[in-house]
Amino acid sequence: MTPIQIILLSGLAGAACVTGARWRRNEIRPIAAATWILIWTFGAVFTVNPSWSTSVAHALGVGRGADLVTYISIVFLFFAVFRLLIRTERQRKEMTELVRRLAIDEQLKKDAEQNPPSANPHA
């Protein structure tokens, strides 16, 4: 086994452990955990047997296995960035709404203290 294979396999094993731990803590759904474990497993298989990725690449019309891995990685990264952007945007809106409600509620409370509604409006 070459040094780069050892490095890659160590990284993939670490990623699988983190995924498993997050699943056990209920931080990610089972389907998400299974998807990630599958991705790390594919990575490990192709790392141990690089010639397999070349066979798959040829079957898909790509010259080299390394090129196929690069193409898939780019598509995957774009998708991940897109999802992150949507999540960040949603959190920004929620944060603003929270800050806004706190500000307005606090002032309305002060207004009510300064001008308390009369217990008997006809008094």
Partner 1 sequence: MASPPCVVVVIPAFREPTMVGGVVESIRPHVDRVVVVDDGSGDGTGDAARRAGATVLTHIANRGQGASLMTGIRYALTKGADIILTMDADGQHDPQEITAMIEPILTGKADIALGSRFLRSGHLVPLPRKALLVAATWYTRMVSGLDLTDTHNGFRAMSRHAASTIKLTQDRMAHASEILDQVAELELRYVEVPVTIRYTDYSLAKGQRAMNGLRILVDLWVGKVLG
Contacting residues toward partner 1, per CB under 8 A: 85-86, 89, 92-93, 95-96, 99-100, 102-104, 106-108, 111
Give the shortest CB-110-to-partner 1 separation in angstroms: 9
> Which one, 70 or 107, has the nearer CB to partner 1?
107
> Which one, 34 or 80, has the nearer CB to partner 1?
80
- Taking Cα atoms as reference points, which of 39, 45, 37, 34 lies closest to residue 75? 39
> Which one, 35 or 107, has the nearer CB to partner 1?
107
Give the shortest CB-96-to-partner 1 separation in angstroms: 5
Give the shortest CB-86-to-partner 1 separation in angstroms: 6
> Which one, 60 or 99, has the nearer CB to partner 1?
99
DSSP string, 8-76: HHHHHHHHHHHHHHHHHTTSS-HHHHHHHHHHHHHHHHHHH-HHHHHHHHHHTT-S-HHHHHHHHHHHH
* Spatial CB neighbours of 1, under 8 Å, sequence gap ≥ 6: 48
* Spatial CB neighbours of 69, under 8 Å, sequence gap ≥ 6: 46, 53
Give the shortest CB-114-to-partner 1 separation in angstroms: 10
